[in-house]
Chains A and B, each alone.
Chain A
């Protein structure tokens, strides 16, 4: 069983940008990150789930902004100095789409080795782990590595299904 899981986990080794949502720490592959910007006014768009906060103007481009705190069901407290938007590139049906994700704070870029990554344990029906690549234990804390295409891919075209 160890052997079967070893290969995909080895592929996960690499650089991750880590950030905080509530008390938890998350990581996403650094190659997906385009830039980090401070929280700005977001124009809300009607008829979409609340975790889709709306749109912002990124130097002439209109990009959607997803609040990962709402998406994952965290309490959203006051926005602080450290609240920011990570602009990422998501693969959506073969085309790259820019999106912003709101997080509580950004930590650092971390080099995660294969040995530090564990498979995602099953939590039963309570917790959906579909978009977790694996868990990284670094410097005594656990970081949840996200499969961004899965996390945000659904937000790319959810509205088509609704209407």
Chain B
């Protein structure tokens, strides 16, 4: 009772309207919370985790925006670390040191929540921590039920922490009281288990561990090793970072303008030009490091998939091994944000539709455990993310039948398998026989494709009947520096990424062929390449009309070539890709804008989009 009186006194002291200065001392020392907990549990049968009191635990959180934002981002990161460590422990239960990796972040979350007085979060974390502490010291086994409970508590805490800002703002939130209560009860039940059962379980686990110890996992392959190294980082508001990048971009432009100043160009003072080139070197180095700050490894996204695969595998009863590759591949932070949902959807699909039930796999002579591969890599200026399963592959006949039934394809249409597979990207298309809990709710691959195309990316399918399906997502390195070739068309200038350019030429008239007086082709060595007149396609006045008058740039996208007719090549330049914003989202053939040497914007050509214009 004493403690609750103390608590209410604190509350009334904090009642005045002006925000209380942030108190670095814990609002409620953990020891009091513990005493409260055990006393409450002993006194009556009430669940031992108090249900969050909606109002008074948010006072400190609401009073310091910066600190509370830090708490949320920090907390979510810790929960991510915990999740990764649990999954790792599940795969290697012999490694008890992993329990420390689970315990420590829980402790930090609890401590931080205590500092801010968010008692609901603090107490959930505390209860789980108690369980972990027992397991860590070897007093309790840590088996599948414990793992399940800890994962549940991670989900619950993630939700609670995520909706803290909404609660402060008075926005509607999910009521977690029931879930908190349920988790408390489950923990109580588990902790109250007779020691005999615990001992038996421990013996079983010890045996398991002993047998597992014989094949220790190689240290080098540890996918979560880097969590230890992440201490030497600083959190920076992304807006500050964006403005730094913008300003550095301006600096580069100012430097270029200065370097090209006629007065300086005429100067023969060697000392001056040496100093200028020194400035140039520093500027471009500065630009490079500013850009790299926006890049993050895809690791965290992949970790989310690991949890998803585990849960799906349990729920469907299909044993699945997830193989990750290229988790260190860096991509723009914004891309990571936008790629997570489509990826989760595709992983769910792969488990639900891609992988066959174990019995079917056995009958087909495949190992019962399916393999799901998730990989990321850089390829020629794009980021490639692949999701591959070794399941049954796409059922081409079923897709065609469904497409015909839905009127997407004519009944007598003759289509190649690749064309038929494209139907899965149609809205409302699903070949799943029944709607399951996991997928098949009608939100389908069409949404995935739309999301990816909104990032100016592309998705491709490779599938082999009986052997599996791989989806490849290709994303541009938006906001990254791209090596480009500057070219002019009429009054406008464009940048084409160097990686998309095969060659450029000034065609002789005998190389240019027209088909039926309209479709124009250029013959380059033995290949006939369709011509796209950029000026015409973009409605630019004053562009040179005939391919023989201008320059032809042979560009390619995904192996398909196109000959772009432009006026002149102006030179090579490294440019910063900037999105054009929502206004121009649907524009095809343009990947973004680049700020050119004179401060004007040149549009960056997107060869894939140009090809679709030419078709």
Which residues from chain A sit less than 8 Å from chain B, CB to CB?
41, 43-48, 52, 55-57, 59-64, 92, 97, 99, 155-160, 162-163
Within 8 Å CB of A64, what residues of B?
580-581, 583-584
The 0/1 profile, CB within 8 Å of A marked 1, for residues 527-567 of chain B is: 00000000001111000000000000000000000000000
> A86–B603 Cα gap in the complex (Å)?
23
> A63–B578 Cα gap in the complex (Å)?
10
Chain A minimum-CB-distance residue to B247: A60
CB–CB A41/B600 < 8 A: yes
Flag whether B602 is at the interface (Cβ < 8 A).
yes
CB–CB A159/B581 < 8 A: no
The 0/1 profile, CB within 8 Å of A marked 1, for residues 571-614 of chain B is: 00000001111111111111001010001111100000000000
- Which of B250, B584, B586 is the most central at the interface, judged by chain A CB atoms within 10 Å of its CB? B584
Flag whether B133 is at the interface (Cβ < 8 A).
no
CB–CB A45/B582 < 8 A: no
> A88–B147 Cα gap in the complex (Å)?
54
CB–CB A43/B603 < 8 A: yes
Which residues from chain B sit less than 8 Å from chain A, CB to CB?
245-247, 249-250, 492, 537-540, 578-590, 593, 595, 599-603
Chain B minimum-CB-distance residue to A92: B582
7 CB < 8 A contacts A-B: A45-B590, A46-B590, A55-B580, A57-B595, A64-B580, A64-B583, A156-B582
- In the complex, what's the smallest C-beta–C-beta distance from A47 to chain B, in angstroms? 5
> A47–B608 Cα gap in the complex (Å)?
16
> A55–B249 Cα gap in the complex (Å)?
17
Interface of B, helix, strand, loop or mixed by DSSP: mixed
Within 8 Å CB of A60, what residues of B?
245-247, 249-250, 595
- In the complex, what's the smallest C-beta–C-beta distance from B453 to chain A, in angstroms? 10
Within 8 Å CB of B586, what residues of A?
47, 159-160, 162-163
- In the complex, what's the smallest C-beta–C-beta distance from A51 to chain B, in angstroms? 12
CB–CB A56/B601 < 8 A: yes
- Given A43-B600, A46-B538, A60-B245, output 11 extra A-B contacts at Cβ < 8 Å: A44-B492, A44-B540, A60-B595, A62-B579, A62-B593, A64-B584, A97-B581, A97-B582, A157-B585, A158-B583, A159-B584
Chain B minimum-CB-distance residue to A60: B246
CB–CB A52/B581 < 8 A: no
- In the complex, what's the smallest C-beta–C-beta distance from B568 to chain A, in angstroms? 17
Within 8 Å CB of A97, what residues of B?
581-583
Q: How many A-B residue pairs have CB under 8 A?
A: 85
> A131–B581 Cα gap in the complex (Å)?
23
CB–CB B593/A55 < 8 A: yes
- Which of A44, A46, A59 is the most central at the interface, judged by chain B CB atoms within 10 Å of its CB? A46
In the complex, which of the residues B247, B581, B589, B602 contacts A46, with contact meaning CB atoms closer than 8 Å?
B589
- Which of A45, A60, A97, A99 is the most central at the interface, judged by chain B CB atoms within 10 Å of its CB? A60
In the complex, which of the residues A41, A57, A157 contacts B583, with contact meaning CB atoms closer than 8 Å?
A157
Within 8 Å CB of B492, what residues of A?
43-44
> A92–B583 Cα gap in the complex (Å)?
10
Within 8 Å CB of B249, what residues of A?
60
Chain B minimum-CB-distance residue to A163: B586
> A61–B247 Cα gap in the complex (Å)?
10
> A48–B579 Cα gap in the complex (Å)?
16
- In the complex, what's the smallest C-beta–C-beta distance from A45 to chain B, in angstroms? 5
Within 8 Å CB of B579, what residues of A?
62
> A155–B585 Cα gap in the complex (Å)?
11
CB–CB A43/B601 < 8 A: yes
> A56–B603 Cα gap in the complex (Å)?
11
In the complex, which of the residues B245, B581, B582, B601 contacts A57, with contact meaning CB atoms closer than 8 Å?
B601
CB–CB A47/B540 < 8 A: no
CB–CB A159/B587 < 8 A: yes
> A158–B245 Cα gap in the complex (Å)?
29
Within 8 Å CB of A57, what residues of B?
595, 599-601
Chain B minimum-CB-distance residue to A50: B539
- In the complex, what's the smallest C-beta–C-beta distance from B402 to chain A, in angstroms? 26
Within 8 Å CB of B601, what residues of A?
43, 55-57, 62
CB–CB A155/B583 < 8 A: yes
- In the complex, what's the smallest C-beta–C-beta distance from A32 to chain B, in angstroms? 17
Within 8 Å CB of B247, what residues of A?
60
CB–CB B595/A45 < 8 A: no
- Which of B583, B593, B595, B602 is the most central at the interface, judged by chain A CB atoms within 10 Å of its CB? B583
CB–CB A159/B583 < 8 A: yes
> A156–B599 Cα gap in the complex (Å)?
24
In the complex, which of the residues B587, B593, B602 contacts A47, with contact meaning CB atoms closer than 8 Å?
B587
> A62–B602 Cα gap in the complex (Å)?
11
> A2–B249 Cα gap in the complex (Å)?
55
Within 8 Å CB of B595, what residues of A?
57, 60, 62
Within 8 Å CB of B593, what residues of A?
43, 55, 62
- In the complex, what's the smallest C-beta–C-beta distance from B417 to chain A, in angstroms? 27
> A83–B603 Cα gap in the complex (Å)?
25
> A63–B593 Cα gap in the complex (Å)?
10
CB–CB B583/A52 < 8 A: yes
- In the complex, what's the smallest C-beta–C-beta distance from A10 to chain B, in angstroms? 28
- In the complex, what's the smallest C-beta–C-beta distance from B503 to chain A, in angstroms? 25
- Which of A97, A159, A162 is the most central at the interface, judged by chain B CB atoms within 10 Å of its CB? A159
Chain B minimum-CB-distance residue to A43: B601
CB–CB B580/A45 < 8 A: yes
- In the complex, what's the smallest C-beta–C-beta distance from A156 to chain B, in angstroms? 5
Chain A minimum-CB-distance residue to B248: A60
Within 8 Å CB of B588, what residues of A?
47, 163
Closest 5 CB pairs of A and B: A159-B586, A60-B246, A46-B538, A163-B586, A64-B583
> A111–B246 Cα gap in the complex (Å)?
35
CB–CB B580/A62 < 8 A: yes
> A70–B603 Cα gap in the complex (Å)?
23
Within 8 Å CB of A157, what residues of B?
582-583, 585
> A63–B595 Cα gap in the complex (Å)?
12
- In the complex, what's the smallest C-beta–C-beta distance from B571 to chain A, in angstroms? 18
CB–CB A48/B585 < 8 A: no
Within 8 Å CB of B245, what residues of A?
60
Within 8 Å CB of B246, what residues of A?
59-61
> A162–B584 Cα gap in the complex (Å)?
11
Within 8 Å CB of B538, what residues of A?
44, 46-47
CB–CB A62/B600 < 8 A: no
- In the complex, what's the smallest C-beta–C-beta distance from B450 to chain A, in angstroms? 10
- In the complex, what's the smallest C-beta–C-beta distance from B159 to chain A, in angstroms? 23
Within 8 Å CB of B584, what residues of A?
45, 48, 55, 64, 159
Within 8 Å CB of A155, what residues of B?
583
> A28–B245 Cα gap in the complex (Å)?
32
- In the complex, what's the smallest C-beta–C-beta distance from B572 to chain A, in angstroms? 20
Within 8 Å CB of A47, what residues of B?
538, 586-589
